Amino acid sequence: MNPGPRSARLSPIWYPMQSMDARYTSQINEGVEPAAPGEFPPVSIGPLRLDIPVVLAPMAGITNYPFRTVCRQFGAGLYVSEMITARALVEKNPKTVKLSEFSPQETPRSLQLYGVDPEYVGKAVESLVAEDRVDHIDLNFGCPVRKVTRKGGGAAIPVKPLLLANIVRAAVRSAGTVPVTIKFRMGIDDNILTYSDAGRVGQDEGCAAVALHARTAAELYSGEAHWEAIADLKQQVKHIPVFGNGDIWEGWDALRMMRQTGCDGVVVGRGCLGRPWLFRDLADVFKGRQPENPPQFGFIREIMLEHARLLAEWFGERMGLLSFRKHATWYTKGFPGSAQWRQSLIQVETLDDLAVALDQLASDLEFPPESMRVKRGKKSRRQRVALPDGYLDDRFDQTPPDPAAETEDSGG
């Protein structure tokens, strides 16, 4: 659970230690002090112990084995897979089975599962545990994608707490000693808040922890996360750890969230896209140290090449490089002239192409301070959440949603 802050591949020779300059600390974090000794104790999720209370958020198409490996090289924590659909896993869909794989070196093996039917969720968990494929299972109840919620899935499930409880109960019973956690949003919109019910269900049904993304499904990723909802949930859920998710862009943000809300740990999503060293910064501030400056481009180039190589080994070179293109835009965001330069990056098809494209920028280019809080990934906008006709008529209905509510998309 406590790998070193850097791997042998990404050698510290590339990145000499240097305490962070003031220009890399956003105004909102000025004056935030590193953790005091004993201020944030280790968090237990069942038998798993997190000395650094940080979790990588499951992100569809992103948190696969190669990305988890790159992030893990920078610090300890819990690194969760992208979302795996229960029905497809039970039916042995080849793509789903591939996405659920872990490398032999990964430990603990943390997988996020998504399902809308207690029967299939139970069967999927039973299979994963029987085959000794996981050490932790997280259930997704936060997906706000329209084609999911309009069928009654994702963030719509907590609207019906009995259905939610049935799904969670099936997972916990099938998991045995493997800890189960759940992740959810505040609710559908400002008028339909469900996080209190979701937290209660998680605690009552035997979950090892719960995590709240402090936005509604209607908000998607827009605006600022409502950390006060995390504080409210922590007051209600007293017997298991509560993790907070939303707007962790700098290591200091995690300390602010935990001090303001009393939550037990943080979940990091978009803040680490193109910036896997955020986990090193988090480890530093939790251990009472000042973080280091972001790396210069020479080191970022090495991270990018390593990430792309891992994707190529896992998916095959062409598909791996296609998958890497979005990461390339995140790694280079904000560098001078990068908007035009990225046009070559989003056309690469081989590792050699990538190496040539990356040689266009000087190794000593400094990471731009204005990119510290630049939003990456999902678009920041609001939406009107689609629900099935009559879905709100009976909040105590336990009927599983249409199987079409299972999808490979996730945005919890």
DSSP result, 137-173? EEEEE----HHHHTTT-GGGGGGSHHHHHHHHHHHHH
Confidence (pLDDT) at 13:
33
What is the distance between the alpha carbons of residues 331 and 326, in angstroms, rounded to a whole number?
9
Tell me how crowded residue 388 is: count the other CB atoms within 10 A of its CB. Answer: 15
Q: Tell me the CA distances in angstroms from 119 to 9, 124, 143, 169, 408, one per residue in order.
A: 43, 9, 20, 10, 19
> Does residue 184 sit in helix, strand or coil?
strand
Question: Which residues have a Cβ under 8 Å from the Cβ of 56 and sit 6 or more positions away?
Answer: 63, 68, 71, 77, 78, 79, 80, 267, 268, 272, 279
Confidence (pLDDT) at 360:
81
What is the distance between the alpha carbons of residues 214 and 44, in angstroms, rounded to a whole number?
22
DSSP result, 320-380? HHHHHHHHHHHHTTTSTTHHHHHHHHTT--SHHHHHHHHTTS-TTPPPPGGGTT---SS--
Confidence (pLDDT) at 407:
59
Give the H/E segment covering residue 43. strand 43-45
Confidence (pLDDT) at 339:
76
> Does residue 81 sit in helix, strand or coil?
strand
pTM: 0.93
Q: Do residues 262 and 234 lie in contact, with contact meaning Cβ atoms separated by under 8 Å?
A: yes
> Does residue 181 sit in helix, strand or coil?
strand
What is the distance between the alpha carbons of residues 290 and 283, in angstroms, rounded to a whole number?
10
Q: Is 393 exposed, middle or buried (0-12, 13-18, 19+ CB in 10 A)?
A: exposed
| Catalytic annotation present for 71 | no
Q: Do residues 139 and 113 lie in contact, with contact meaning Cβ atoms separated by under 8 Å?
A: yes
What is the distance between the alpha carbons of residues 36 and 176, in angstroms, rounded to a whole number?
37
CA pseudo-torsion sign 216, 224, 346, 353: negative
> Does residue 114 sit in helix, strand or coil?
strand
Confidence (pLDDT) at 76:
83
What is the distance between the alpha carbons of residues 149 and 144, in angstroms, rounded to a whole number?
6
Can you name the residues that pair with 189 across neighbouring β-strands?
Answer: 192
Q: Mean pLDDT of successive 10-residue segments in the chain (412 residues)?
A: 36 53 94 96 97 95 95 93 94 92 93 96 97 97 91 95 98 98 98 98 98 97 96 98 98 98 97 97 96 95 97 95 94 84 86 91 90 80 92 94 68 44
What is the distance between the alpha carbons of residues 177 and 135, in angstroms, rounded to a whole number?
9
Domains of the chain: 43-293 (3.20.20.70), 297-367 (1.10.1200.80)
Closest of 127, 146, 134 to residue 101, by C-alpha:
134
What is the distance between the alpha carbons of residues 247 and 249, in angstroms, rounded to a whole number?
6
71, 143, 207, 272: which one is catalytic?
A: 143
Estimate to the nearest angstrom the gap between the alpha carbon of 290 and the chain centroid. 24
Q: Do residues 286 and 254 lie in contact, with contact meaning Cβ atoms separated by under 8 Å?
A: yes
Longest Cα–Cα distance in the chain:
62
Residue 4's φ and ψ, nearest 5 degrees, are: -65, 165
Q: Do residues 82 and 60 lie in contact, with contact meaning Cβ atoms separated by under 8 Å?
A: yes
Q: Is 318 exposed, middle or buried (0-12, 13-18, 19+ CB in 10 A)?
A: exposed
Confidence (pLDDT) at 346:
86
DSSP class of residue 78 equals E
